[in-house]
Amino acid sequence: MQETTGERLIGRRTFLRLGAAAGMTAFVLGSTGCSPMANTAPEKSASFTPGTYTAQAQGKQSLVTVEVTVGDDAIEAVDVTNHCESERIANAAIAAIATDIVELQSLAVDTVSGATLTSMAILSAVKDCIGQAGGDVAALEKAAGREKKDATEIIETEVAIVGAGAAGLTSAIALSEQGTDVVVMEKCGFIGGSMLVSGGRLQYPEAPLEFRQETTEPMRRLFAEVMERARALGVKEERVAFVEDQYEKWYAEGNTKTFDSDEYYAVLGAVGFGNPLAAETTVDAVAARHTCEWVTAHGVELEKPLLGIMGFSWPRSTHPVGKPAGEGYVDALEDYIEKSAFPELEILFSTSAQELVVESGKIVGVKGLCDDGTAYEVRASK
């Protein structure tokens, strides 16, 4: 559960860490939100019964509890005090919406891309609180929000990436490490994409010994069963015999930890999918191991020992320590980017890609539209 105990959730650290919304700039990663929008807040004319009011509304996964503090003629604070939404996604909505309501003295504020249901819950609860305070909800819904800008900005870079999910984010990091200028266009107000709602588990073939379990008799029986089923499936005998030889040599050398190899990973996959041809390549095993090694090198601490889970009976499964879901990877990678302070990396939040820029039959960039109405054309030289 994500809770707060009197601490404001719209402080500077929340803005910087989460890069929460359109209109916010100077994200600590060198990332930006959309261009700042003009503040068109009206002069204070509302009337309230001063005090702090509480209300709840249903978000995507849970009830969202909001406290609103008002003075005689102004909304002074909006705090989300309790929720069980996805932390990073919810915090993007909390930071953006709470700030806009207080700054603009208006309920005509935008929801946050990627966090629509949480945004709507916050707004609904705030309206309830305003009603409790005797405020005119309808008038505040009509009050001027941020003025939509109609500007186009051209950004020159070496590589343009659409999306700051798993593929986009890791690609941006790898390129930035090489000194390549990168601009990422992300439609949501936060990084991570679908990785934030993934199960977060990775398979780690041929993992270092400290990750492996001690071998048990049931595991020995399982290995023998896999080899028997592989032969029955039609996996080539030389592949099965090769893995059996690896297995015998592993324990003959005095190892007590679980046996594993890329070839065994392939054979086990063939048995699991019922496709003997899958046993002939170790590409998947190598890719899975390299993924684990890469995330570890970039700040992700993986759980030990490896476990077997449904569909992956051999103990190879792991996940980030403390946060078994995909959010653990996003947190660690964001910390890595912050510490690295890549000057070459810029992220345009709340900006949806609209179309590719094609010249002489070659893709040279991408056009995007920010939630504030700003149009971007990112031109890439590589």
Tens of pLDDT along 121-147? Answer: 999 999 999 999 999 999 998 877 666
For every residue of 96-152, DSSP letters joined together read HHHHHHHHHT-S--PPPTT-HHHHHHHHHHHHHHHHHTT--HHHHHHS--EEPP--E
pLDDT value of position 67: 96
Instruction: Give the span between the Cα atoms of 45 and 32, in whole angstroms.
Output: 33
Whether 194 has a pLDDT exceeding 90, the answer reads no
370 compared with 239, residue with greater pLDDT? 239
Q: 291 pLDDT exceeds 60?
A: yes
CB-CB contact of 98 with 73 (8 Å): no
Q: Where are the domains of the chain?
A: 2-19+39-147, 152-196+329-380, 201-319
Span 64-92, pLDDT tens digits: 999 999 999 999 999 999 999 887 778 88
State mean pLDDT over 228-251.
Answer: 97
The whole model's pTM is what?
Answer: 0.72
Mean pLDDT of 333-346: 92
Q: Where does the pLDDT of residue 6 fall: very low under 50, low under 70, confident under 90, or very high at 90 and above?
A: very low
Q: Which residues pair with 53 in a beta bridge?
A: 68
Mean of the per-residue pLDDT values of the chain: 85
What integer pLDDT is reported at residue 145 of this predicted model?
Answer: 61
CATH tag, 2-19+39-147: 3.90.1010.20
Q: Are 50 and 72 in contact (CB under 8 A)?
A: yes
Q: How far apart are CA 269 and CA 265, in angstroms?
A: 6
- Does 203 have pLDDT greater than 70? yes
Q: Which residue has the higher pLDDT, 372 or 63?
A: 63
Q: Is the domain 152-196+329-380 a CATH 3.30.360.10 member?
A: no
- Looking at the chain, the whole-number percentage of residues with pLDDT higher than 90 is 68
**What pLDDT score does 148 carry?**
63
